[in-house]
Amino acid sequence: MLKILKNIIVKYFKREVSMSNRIYIGNDHSAVEMKQAIVKHLQEKNYEVIDLGNNDGKSCNYAKIGQVVAEHVVNDTNSRGIVICGTGIGISIAANKVKTARAALVYEKETVELARIHNDANILALGARIIAISKAINLVDVFLNTPFEGGRHIERVNTLNEYKN
């Protein structure tokens, strides 16, 4: 049944259904502790986590990390990404420079849900200095468990994906 639904979605909506459990994650020096907690949580849930971030807490360039995560996500279309810096702002801007990356900076459950439902966000951006680790883990779960609604949102997401500088 799942395969039939997937084929219908791909045929009529020209969208692939995300089936991967692969998560690319990256962080700067301010978010090592949060990243490590999220990685542990995801591994306990049997996700394949590819860590592209900072692990030693030494100052690093969040922009490069955001772009590297985004490049991996867009080249592995059934995957998702998580990027974390102090506020989430800089790293989300960097990730969104990569064509077809749709990084959503979120602080609340409702914004995560809408980012997935309406925008088909493929990257979650978090601020380690803004939200608690426990809340970040909850937001990650919402991000990974909320499907894209499709329908009228497909044309809008396709417009985002086709945009060129």
Known active-site residue 118: yes
Does the annotation list 116 as a binding residue?
Answer: no
Asked if residue 122 lies in contact with residue 80, where contact means CB atoms within 8 angstroms, the answer is: yes
Q: Specify whether the CB–CB gap between 132 and 84 falls below 8 A.
A: no
Find out whether 80 is annotated in a ligand binding site.
no
Q: Residue 119 annotated as binding?
A: yes
**According to the annotation, is 53 in a ligand binding site?**
no
User: Exactly one of 41, 60, 72, 85 is catalytic; which is it?
Assistant: 85
CB count in 10 Å sphere of residue 68: 19
Residue 26 labelled as part of a binding site:
no
Residue 156 annotated as part of some ligand binding site: yes
Helix intervals (H) in the chain: 2-13, 32-44, 62-75, 89-95, 109-117, 133-145, 153-162
Would you call 72 a catalytic residue per the annotation? no
Binding residues: 28-29, 86-90, 119, 129, 152, 156
Residue ranges for the binding site for D-ribulose 5-phosphate? 28-29, 86-90, 119, 129, 152, 156
Active site positions, annotated = 85, 118
